[in-house]
Structure 1
C-alpha cells in the first residue's frame, strides 16, 4: 500500500506531448509554493517545447487547470476545469530559454480563471486592454482561444480535458471576431499564421484582401456569434413621470470605448433576427428584432425592440466620443455615451477615449 498521490492527470499531459515531440526534454517551470498555501502562482507548472515547423517557436502547455493528481471535484465527467492552455510563440535561433513574460501571461490566465470562475472555451476572446507583453510596442492587445491543432482531447482517470490554444490578436482583429466569430476569423488567417503561432512583431491581418473578403462573406452569411457583451460602463435610469411637467425619458448609458463595436454587432445580429444582450453591473439590456420599436422596463432587465430604421438611427450616433442623443423611432429613450478611461495593472490611466 502507498499513500502517494496519483499523478494520472499530469502523466496524461506528458504522454500527449511525448507522442508529439518524442523524447524532447522540455523546459519546465514549476511552482515552489502551491496557490492554496499562499503562493503567487495558481498553476502547478508550465512546460515549453522547442519546435522548428512551420516556423521556429515555443510550444507552451500549462499544468493546473485540470486535475493533475487525485480526483477532487464532484464532476465525474470533466477533469477540473476541463482544459489546459497551450501557447505558441515565435522563437529566434539563438533563444535558449522561453521569455519570462509568456510564463507570466499564462499564470495571469490562471489567476483570472481561479479568481473569477470563468473558464475558457474554443471560440472565446479576451481584451487585455494593453500589450500582451507588457512594455513592448506590439499591436497584440487581446487574446483568442481555439482548439490546439496538434492535440486531441484526452480521457483521463479524473475525467476528460482538452488543449485550448491561446492566440495573440490585435484590437482590430478582436473587433472583427466580435462582429463575426473567432473560429471563422482564425481559419481565414491560417495561411498567414500556420499553427496559430503568436508573433509579437506582426501587423494586423484585417487589411489583407483575402481575409477582408472572408470576413465580409462570413458576416453576410452568418451574422455575429456574439450574443452577449459585457459592458463595464453600462447603466440604465428608468423613465420618470412628473406632475404637470414633461416626463423624464429613460436613459441608457454606454462607454465610448465600446460604442462603435456595439453598433456593428447590433446591426449584424438584428439582420439575422438574433438578439444582443449588454450585460453590466446589476443590469441586463437586450436588443431584439421586431416590427415596432419600443422598450420595456422590468427591474434590472430591460428589453429594447428595434427594427431596421431604429438600428440605422442608433448606429449613426454610436461614436467614440461623449454624446447625448435621442432617436426619432424610439421616443422616450435618451442615450448617453460617456468617456472611457483605460488603466494599467497599477490603476494608472493610460488612455482616454471620448
Structure 2
C-alpha cells in the first residue's frame, strides 16, 4: 500500500489480497504504488499495481490492479458493486530473466484506468478495444487490440463495499479482433483458449488465425450465427437530408474511412440474420435495420436506414475505405461520403491516414 494508508483502513484492498492469497501464498509481489493518487490530485487513477511472477503454464507476469473498486470506504450509491465493480488483471509472457516487470505494462494499465475514470465507461467480459497501434510502442509486435475475459484463476469476490470481478486483458492481433467482431466475443475467445493457456499475452506470437482449425471454427460460427457486434463508435460520422425537385429526398451519410471495412464486414452478418446495426458518433446515430423494402427515416439526431438483404449486400460490395462518394445500387437517394481517418498514437501524433 502507499504510505498514507493505515493498517486495517482498506477493507477493499484487503479483500483483493485475500483473493490472491491461495494462488500466491509463498510469494511477495512486486508492488508499484502511486505516490500521489488521483483522489489526492495526482495523475494516476490506480492506487497500486501488483505483479506476480509465474512459471506455468509458461513464464509470465500476472498483474493485478488496485483502484477500480473502492479500497478504503464505500463512496458510490450502488450497494451491489464496489466502485466500478472490477479490477483488471493482465498476464504478460516473460523469459524469466528480468527482475522487474516492464514499465510499459504498468503505464498501460494506468492509461486504461484514465479512460474509465474520465468517461465512466466500464469494461465487461466480452468487451474489446482497438489500441490504435501496438500495445507496447517500443516493441515490434502484432498485438494491437485487447479483449476482456474473466480471469481464469480469480473468480469474483464479495467485499465489504460490494462485488468485485477480476477482468483479464487479452492481447489480440488485428485479424483476431475482426474475427471476434464477426462472431461472438465470448465464443471466439473460447475457440482461441486452447492456444492461449490462461490467456497469457505474448508480444511475439503470430496470429492464431494462421491455425487453420481455429480459423475454420471462427468462420463457421460467424456464418451460422452472424455477428454479435451490434454497434461501432466513430468520431467521424454525420448525416444530412435535402429535398430534390421531382426526385425525392437525398440522404448523405458521412463516415470515416477506417469504419468502412468494419461496416461492410458486419452489416451482412447482422441484417440478414434479423439483427439491427448502429454507427454511433459524437452527436448522431445511423441505424441500419432489416426490412422488406428500402427506406430512410429520421428521428431527431437518429437516422434509420432500412435495407433488404439484397440492398445490404449491395452496400457492402460498393463502399470502399477510400475518400469519395458512393451511391448504393438499388437504393435511390442514399449516398455515403467517405472521408479520410487519421490514426493517432497515445501522444496525439498522427501515425497513419486511412483513405
Matches within 5 A, 1:32-43: 32-43=35-46
Q: What is residue 76 of structure 1 aligned with on the other side? A: 79
Cα shift at 1:26: 0.4
Q: What is residue 179 of structure 1 aligned with on the other side? A: 182
Q: What is residue 3 of structure 2 aligned with on the other side? A: none
Q: What is residue 219 of structure 1 aligned with on the other side? A: 222
CA contact (8 A) 2:326 2:336 kept: yes
Q: What is residue 20 of structure 1 aligned with on the other side? A: 23
- In the alignment, the residues of structure 2 paired with residue 73 and residue 148 of structure 1 have an alpha-carbon distance, to the nearest angstrom, of 25
- Alpha-carbon deviations, 1:283-309, whole Å to 9, x = none? 111111111011112220111111111
- In the alignment, the residues of structure 2 paired with residue 256 and residue 59 of structure 1 have an alpha-carbon distance, to the nearest angstrom, of 37
Q: What is residue 309 of structure 1 aligned with on the other side? A: 310
Matches within 5 A, 1:155-304: 155-241=158-244, 249-304=250-305
Q: What is residue 327 of structure 2 aligned with on the other side? A: 326
Matches within 5 A, 1:26-175: 26-175=29-178
Cα shift at 1:220: 2.1
Cα shift at 1:353: 1.1
Q: What is residue 340 of structure 1 aligned with on the other side? A: 341
- In the alignment, the residues of structure 2 paired with residue 338 and residue 49 of structure 1 have an alpha-carbon distance, to the nearest angstrom, of 46
CA contact (8 A) 1:255 1:340 kept: yes
Cα shift at 1:4: 7.6
**Cα gap change, 1:252/1:4 in structure 2, threshold over 3 Å: closer, same or farther?**
same
- In the alignment, the residues of structure 2 paired with residue 208 and residue 346 of structure 1 have an alpha-carbon distance, to the nearest angstrom, of 35
Cα shift at 1:185: 1.7
CA contact (8 A) 1:5 1:69 kept: no
- In the alignment, the residues of structure 1 paired with residue 7 and residue 134 of structure 2 have an alpha-carbon distance, to the nearest angstrom, of 42
SS in 2 for 1:132: coil
CA contact (8 A) 2:286 2:304 kept: yes
**Cα gap change, 1:348/1:248 in structure 2, threshold over 3 Å: closer, same or farther?**
farther
* Alignment size in residue pairs: 350
Larger mean Cα displacement after TM superposition, 81-90 or 11-20? 11-20
- In the alignment, the residues of structure 1 paired with residue 41 and residue 160 of structure 2 have an alpha-carbon distance, to the nearest angstrom, of 28
- Alpha-carbon deviations, 1:100-150, whole Å to 9, x = none? 000000000110000010000000011110011012221111111010011
- In the alignment, the residues of structure 2 paired with residue 219 and residue 138 of structure 1 have an alpha-carbon distance, to the nearest angstrom, of 27
CA contact (8 A) 1:5 1:70 kept: no
Unaligned runs of at least 5 residues, structure 1? none
Q: CA RMSD in A?
A: 1.5
**Cα gap change, 1:318/1:206 in structure 2, threshold over 3 Å: closer, same or farther?**
farther
- In the alignment, the residues of structure 2 paired with residue 274 and residue 246 of structure 1 have an alpha-carbon distance, to the nearest angstrom, of 31
- In the alignment, the residues of structure 2 paired with residue 155 and residue 353 of structure 1 have an alpha-carbon distance, to the nearest angstrom, of 46
CA contact (8 A) 2:315 2:329 kept: no
- In the alignment, the residues of structure 2 paired with residue 282 and residue 15 of structure 1 have an alpha-carbon distance, to the nearest angstrom, of 44
- In the alignment, the residues of structure 1 paired with residue 62 and residue 185 of structure 2 have an alpha-carbon distance, to the nearest angstrom, of 21
Cα shift at 1:5: 6.8
SS in 1 for 2:73: coil
Cα shift at 1:246: 5.5
Relative to the length of structure 2, the TM-score reads 0.95
- Alpha-carbon deviations, 1:46-90, whole Å to 9, x = none? 000011110000000000000111111111100000000000000
